[in-house]
Amino acid sequence: MTSHSMYKEHILDLYKNPRNFGELANPTNSHHGNNPLCGDEITIQLIIKDDKIVDVKFKGVGCAISIASASLLTDHIKNMNVETIKNLTKDDILDLMHIPISPIRLKCALLSLETLHKSIEK
């Protein structure tokens, strides 16, 4: 199995069994984002204490790319400083995904990052 197909399998596994999927009891920050072009919807909930992400959950519906991206991103930001999160970019998401994302699917992959950024603005 090539590493490329191994990462594709990993994306499908995260779609079927996403990490950090669910709801937090008392989030300090939350935002609902959607991609009207394909119907993906993600809500990210955070608990921020002392400018750090103490806990994070997401829920939503969407394609394998958007759900896997949210799963990978929420794992990545645990215990991260809010200022560091504000500086996360498209390239950071693409690095987490480990597979090439076509221009058409880029919005799917970036929905969780966009939603995360809006949740910490509040």
Per residue in 23-76, pLDDT (tens digit) is: 999 999 999 999 988 899 999 999 999 999 999 999 999 999 999 999 999 999
Average pLDDT taken over every residue of the chain? 93
The CA distance from 35 to 96, in Å, is 20
φ and ψ of 117, to 5 deg:
-60, -40
pLDDT, residue 3, reads 59
Q: Which is it for the CA torsion 80, 84, 85, 91, positive or negative?
A: negative
- pTM recorded for the entire structure: 0.92
Q: 27 near 47, Cβ under 8 Å?
A: yes
Confidence grade of residue 1 (pLDDT, cut at 50, 70, 90): very low
Indicate the length of the chain as a whole number. Answer: 122
